[in-house]
Homo-oligomer: A and B are copies of this chain.
């Protein structure tokens, strides 16, 4: 019934480097509703300092658990069908500062410190770099890094 093991002393304020696993608790960890979207919940990622919404992704239960356990945002990639540690190849990890859930528990909000110049694989600070302007989507900001330089070396 959604019971998982998570470290008793997990502190989301701390980076994973400070994460010890001496004790575990059985907690009704999720109470998240994974039933509406085929085992997934929506995860909204927001910069914890500026409030900017950086990206939206999906989490299955394993991704959520890994996020809580490690302190690094981990999603479920629908296209690849596997867990996706954000920043695994780019180094642009998301250090989770706070996690909230909504009234019907089918979405989570991660407030994060985003490591690196940008979250978006296209080179922008946020994936939401296009705004609706007179009926057209327009790029509303400059790239903060060159995605070829970051992702090219691992391809």
Say how far A8's CB is from chain B's closest CB, in angstroms.
8
**A25 / chain B contacts, CB cutoff of 8 Å:** 135
Chain B: CB-nearest residue to A99:
B132
Tell me which residues from 91 to 128 in chain A have a Cβ below 8 Å from any Cβ of chain B. 98-104, 107, 109, 120-122, 124, 127-128
Interface string of A111-155 (1 = CB under 8 A from B): 000000000111010011111101111001000000000000000
Among A6, A51, A135: residue with most chain B CB under 10 A? A135
Query: A36 contacts B78, CB within 8 Å?
Result: yes
Q: Name which of A28, A130, A136 has the most chain B CB atoms within 10 A of its CB.
A: A130
Cβ contacts A to B, 13 pairs, < 8 Å: A6-B135, A10-B135, A12-B132, A28-B136, A37-B37, A44-B53, A50-B51, A53-B53, A68-B132, A99-B131, A99-B132, A102-B127, A107-B128
